[in-house]
Structure 1
């Protein structure tokens, strides 16, 4: 059984936490429009950057273990390849839509450019709830999807990585399926693989480590020392769980966390190691003996120094933004704050560290994995972590300095820096023919 399956069969139904609110693609385009206006580009450049370079929707037939046949729908979107091969995760979720994948691909383009990683942005998704499928069924889905999108992917074209609902095993299946088609092993076709199959040390926790590097810097920029600071972490999956642990290790008191089933709170601070054991045993943070139940709404409105939304898109919106009391919001998820909510938070003096900066640790170490695979030479964990920290903190300094210079929010500064780099690459390359 892989980690993308929940063993507990008696878990409650998913809460509204999993349902993205608003229009993620519209939000992404609105952010781009603001940056294009500030940078002085014309409508032609906006249209070039607002629309995906390529997108593919595929039918993924599956023979269930029961013998029944089921048809699933998958997508792969390459937003931009001006700066290098497309790069982006693959998510398995019942909430996957083409517009969501388009938005995530665009955000990946800006993320790679901002962190000066030589990639363009891509994203993939299959509309499936992996908890309701066996490991062998998920393997068949992954291999068929890989076969369908194989004309678009490759180490020099488009490199998938794990995302919501997928893991290192998924990436191993992708690598093997693609390699069988090519007739030889191609380790660089996917990242986030098991270390024994060409994965990089530190990749599994890289997004969370990046979030924490930036979160600690953001707290200090507001005169808040991490030791004794308080935090709320929304989402206890790939990103939120490790972020909570690393924040706890840095001295931050985690007072409330949530997952797709509910939320818990302990004003004296949660023992993250004990909570992780509870989640491993039950599949959820709910029912943790050393905390009281609360709601996701209460978590977002918690009176804490730091809020880390690390679940899905659109959870901070115009209806709840004014209830956010955190001094610093660090976006562990992609697109957790709608543009309207972002404006309200900025007007209220909340420091919002945008997703394209905050959660870029994953793509940075994916890049490291790709480089190592191409060289057939692997780095030690300390080297990976040192390089990751340097990249994240350098980007933080660039963005915060640019924001201060332009007197704009961090998101605007980050998006402008990223869009300018992509636009410059497009202009230098020119149009063909």
Structure 2
């Protein structure tokens, strides 16, 4: 089976099929996206030249509600990648029981090579390119890799200009000033923290003093590291694309965040004045550390077969989408290393996006405590339902159990709605 993202997603589905009560014909439908779109995006650069970028949007399944999924800016964005991510989003929203389907979009670009002005032009051009297939009751985009509240504000404004009125619920992850919600920025990292704590409770282990390594120190990884540290966990290693730092006695996560804020990356942290005495470490070595919890929070396919053979963590919590290849998953299963799957572990973002969407439709804002309480309630229920499926269906691992819950919910929706025409 291919180790690309789409191959991984389809293999995970097929692995769960024998345990799920889904009609064979419906299951075949679930493997195919409803529609995909590729758009050409001409953008005038600051020097006056025009560059053509490629943008994509995949709408995977809408049986349970409007499509939902982020927009990412990265050089590797492709149709196959967004299709896989849209599929994962479908199973994620079903697992945490949100009235959504799954979608994903992106633009193949290097955001580090774009000025703020060029990024705004690209975002508005992409919004115009996909605007006929998005909308508050049709498809609701959100931030993803290298996009954030700023880009969502531009998307909302562009869509609203075409609509002739303010339409805040066309996207989520917006700034609070234009309809965003408290807690959205930290939502995915908070969700990873909640599922990590729940997993330790399930295993009968104490999170206080547990050693943790986090690969990826962007929004998700940094928030996760900070929150776990505040709960007493001992974060001993973190990394980003520039490399990582390791200290067996524990890192000062807040100091690393300050360094990254000042310099743009973890690089140079070990030599900076005023910071703790940490050693440099590669991303590959971080994945092989002897820790209680490994949290991959960067990109897809970082835990390969070779890494899985050497991995020494007691548990893996997938903060990134698709960080473990299908072959590596089998090795971890054989080695009895439990994995909290991505479709649960990083679902905090889409849960709070849903809460933002609901607030926009009601034109009423909730406070941070209410948002965080609802996030924890929904994640805790989904975690328990995954464990119930793991026990009742005798599935080989937690990922398969999570897929069973999700596939049955989406499959049931298709069966109830029937086939048109």
Q: TM-score range by the shorter chain?
A: over 0.9
Aligned counterparts of 1:127 and 1:73: Cα–Cα separation in 2:
6
Distance in 1 (CA, whole Å) between partners of 2:21 and 2:178 is: 46
Output one character per residue of 1:204-224: Cα deviation in whole Å (capped at 9) or x when no partner: 000000000010111122222
Structure 2: which 5+ runs fail to align? 271-275
**Are 1:135 and 2:116 counterparts?**
yes
The residue aligned with 2:402 is 414
Using the TM superposition, give the Cα deviation of residue 236 of structure 1 relative to its aligned residue in structure 2, in angstroms: 0.2
Question: Between Structure 1 and Structure 2, how many residues are aligned?
Answer: 413
Q: Structure 2 residue aligned with 1:51, among 29, 32, 46?
A: 32
Once the two structures are superposed, residues 43-90 of structure 1 have per-residue CA deviations (whole angstroms, 9 ceiling, x without a partner) of 432321111101100001110000011000000000000000000000
Tell me, yes or no, if structure 1 residue 63 matches structure 2 residue 50. no
TM-score, length of structure 1 as denominator length: 0.94
Question: Is the aligned partner of 1:74 residue 2:61?
Answer: no
Partner of 1:429: 417
Matches within 5 A, 1:375-414: 375-408=362-395, 409-414=397-402
Q: Whole-Å Cα distance in 2 between the matches of residues 261 and 180 of structure 1?
A: 40
- Asked if structure 2 preserves the Cα contact closer than 8 Å seen for 1:91 and 1:164, the reply is yes
CA deviation after TM superposition for structure 1 residue 113, in Å: 0.4
- CA deviations 1:124-183 (Å, max 9, x no partner) are 010011111000100000001100100100000000000001010000000000000000
The 5 Å alignment of 1:27-106 reads 27-39=8-20, 41=22, 43-106=24-87
Secondary structure of the structure 1 residue equivalent to 2:133: coil
Aligned partner of 2:346 among 353, 359, 371: 359
Matched, 1:304 2:291: yes
Query: Do the aligned residues in 2 keep the contact of 1:33 with 1:46 (CA within 8 Å)?
Result: no
Task: Determine the structure 2 residue equivalent to 1:208.
Answer: 189
User: What CA deviation, in whole Å up to 9, does each residue of 1:246-304 have, x standing for no partner?
Assistant: 00001000101110111111111110111100000111112213311111111000000
Structure 2 counterpart of 1:180, from 161, 179, 185: 161
Question: CA separation in 1, counterparts of 2:287 and 2:201?
Answer: 21
Cα shift at 1:40: 5.2
Q: CA deviation at 1:39?
A: 2.2
Say which SS state the counterpart of residue 54 (structure 2) adopts.
strand
- Distance across 2 between alignment mates of 1:375 and 1:41: 35
Q: Deviations over 1:330-379 (max 9, x none)?
A: 00000001111111111111110000000000000000000000000000
| Residue 277 (structure 1) aligned with residue 265 (structure 2) | no
Which ranges of structure 1 fall in alignment gaps of 5 or more residues? 1-20
Preserved CA contact (<8 Å) 1:231 1:307:
yes
The answer to whether the Cα contact below 8 Å between 1:32 and 1:46 also exists between their aligned partners in 2 is: no
Note if contact 1:80-1:122 (Cα within 8 Å) is conserved in structure 2. Answer: yes
Aligned-residue CA RMSD (Å): 1.0
- In 2, Cα distance between equivalents of 1:130 and 1:368: 29
